[in-house]
Amino acid sequence: MAELLWSLQDSQLVARFQRCCGLFPASDEGPRESSAGPSEGETPALGVGHLPCANGKGGGGPPNGLRRDAAPQAYVQRYVVKNYFYYYLFRFSAALGQEVFYITFLPFTHWNIDPYLSRRLVIIWVLVMYVGQVTKDILKWPRPSSPPVVKLEKRVIAEFGMPSTHAMAATAISFTLLLSSMDRYQYPFVWGLVMAVLFSTLVCLSRLYTGMHTVLDVLGGLLITALLIGLTYPTWTFLDRLDSASPLFPVCVLVVPFFLCYNYPVSDYYSPTRADTTTILAAGAGVTVGFWINHFFQLVSKPTDSLPVIQNIPSLTTGMLVLGLTKFAVGILLILVVRQLVQNLSLQVLYSWFKVVTRNKEARQRLEIEVPYKFVTYTSVGICATTFVPMLHRFLGLP
């Protein structure tokens, strides 16, 4: 068993997958100043690109001989793309696993599809992401080494590899949506299962193609997610009713996530993991408080005890599409305004409290500043998305 696990963690296995999909390292011509390449949104001339990595020869992550808790350095790696179908397919699939996709997809689901589904999706997404992020910083397993692996992303290079939170999020979202909707809507279950498997598979394979994870990282993420869904599934109905349990419920929802963020595992160098985790937990707390506000102040009609089954999912029409996009645009605009205002205000207060020079970007990474400002900002975003945006929609006559 140990030998099998070791082989699944081998960077050569990832490199072979990349070569089979037409992604090859270019000849070593030394580092360059610019890191713009296909990973930055440009198509390279003659199929060649380059981006930061952790040594002078290959991509990011702790290279051979480097301590696994040491911060990666910025260098440049060149690569050759020989199959652009796989390149664009997996780059698009990788984007579907980014937090920004879920932070837009979940509000869209709430405003245009079903608040019931969005509530469950948010709860499971937050749980899975927190467990995955903390596990990374406890295990501190390095990402695939480069060479031989080509790495196409630079923002997460400073993070550790095990487990793949992209794989966890994609699997959690797709299968939670499937399990939550099958008793509420009538549709061919097989097609829903196929879509869930296809979505999670594409995101998982994209983590190998981009060189960000080993096979063991991806499989570990899938197994942890399956375990979490299996353990929590019997409690989903109970969790749906927690938002009306007590007037003190919002206090618990805010205090516990903030405590978890402030006591996040300490790393020997700065990485975006703590900031991303705080953003996710804060957004989840804000959404949950927003649902409580809606119930406590009776801003929405009280849900029935038995969930209605819609016989047929309505066909998508041009009018529905335009209405959905309009509601989404209005909601995102209000969220962006709230986010910017709350972020600026919270930073100003914290800078003044800790006597930090304004606009000091490095100060934002300090624990006592980063966690409070992100938590307050994204809690406000979550409350705005679930409470004030629907109120604005009704005010504007957008059903």
3-state SS, the chain, equals: CHHHHHHHCCHHHHHHHHHHCCEEECCCCCCCCCCCCHHHCCCCHHHEEEECCCCCCCCCCCCCCCCCCCCCCCCCEEEEECCHHHHHHHHHHHHHCCHHHHHHHHHHHHHHCCHHHHHHHHHHHHHHHHHHHHHHHHHCCCCCCCCCCCCCCCCCCCCCCCCCHHHHHHHHHHHHHHHHHCCCECCCHHHHHHHHHHHHHHHHHHHHHCCCCCHHHHHHHHHHHHHHHHHHHHHHHHHHCHHHCCCCHHHHHHHHHHHHHHCCCCCCCCCCHHHHHHHHHHHHHHHHHHHHHHHHCCCCCCCCCCCCCECCCCCCCHHHHHHHHHHHHHHHHHHHHHHHHHHHHHHHHHHHHCCCCCCCCHHHHCHHHHHHHHHHHHHHHHHHHHHHHHHHHHHCCCC
Q: CA end-to-end span of the chain, whole Å?
A: 56
Distance of CA 7 to the CA centre of its chain: 28
Question: Among residues 110, 166, 295, 393, which one is catalytic?
Answer: 166
Q: Is 295 annotated as catalytic?
A: no
Q: Is 213 annotated as catalytic?
A: yes
Question: Among residues 50, 110, 213, 393, which one is catalytic?
Answer: 213
Provide the annotated active-site residues.
166, 213
